[in-house]
Homo-oligomer: A and B are copies of this chain.
């Protein structure tokens, strides 16, 4: 498969859950991704990615997950969702649910409605992208093999060209990170670093 360039005006970067609960020391989900966050320099890379891409005309989309403070809209308390409630994360009105300050200035529009794994499920993400003529969807965020991957899978089914910015993602272990990067994503996406992506922008 020969990879070609991406027209900036037809391209969006989807930032999945760059929220304090994941990204900042002292918040509950930080320890889980700390290793990869640091080794990949995910935050630094992502700031550089969106700053430079946005100057070129790429749409920057923030995609947070936000639950009501009583978690009435959590859905089933099972698996990963049971953990959300147990840890008390992603609650509306808390500091943890906020997008990180480093990225806020670059976000053009926030997706609304995300309550599950998939950034398209029950949200206006596809509405935003199709209303604005987006064809290429570059995805960054957390967890690589959970919400990033669910969003990438649906983007593929929706016929977007999908790009995974690997050094702007993190999982809870290198085993899961590598599995996603090497085994799964190549079936549905181009996988590259943020620097490679910036070079491919037209």
Contact = CB atoms under 8 A, between A and B. Distances in A.
A55 interface: no
Number of copies: 4
Contact of A121 (B73, B127, B183): B127
Contacts of A78: 1, 161, 188
Interface in A11-57: none
B127 A113 contact: yes
A146 B111 CA distance: 25
Contacts of A132: 72-73
Given A76-B159, A132-B72, A153-B118, A113 B109 contact: no
A9 interface: no
A91 interface: no
Contact of A157 (B117, B145, B179, B184): B117
Contacts of A186: 79
Interface string A146-170: 1000100110111101000000000
A112 B156 CA distance: 19
Range, interface on chain A: 35 or more
Contact of A73 (B117, B127, B154, B179): B127
A60 interface: no
A176 interface: yes
A193 interface: no
Interface of A: 1, 68, 72-76, 78-80, 82, 108-109, 111-118, 121-128, 130-132, 145-146, 150, 153-154, 156-159, 161, 175-176, 179, 183-184, 186-189
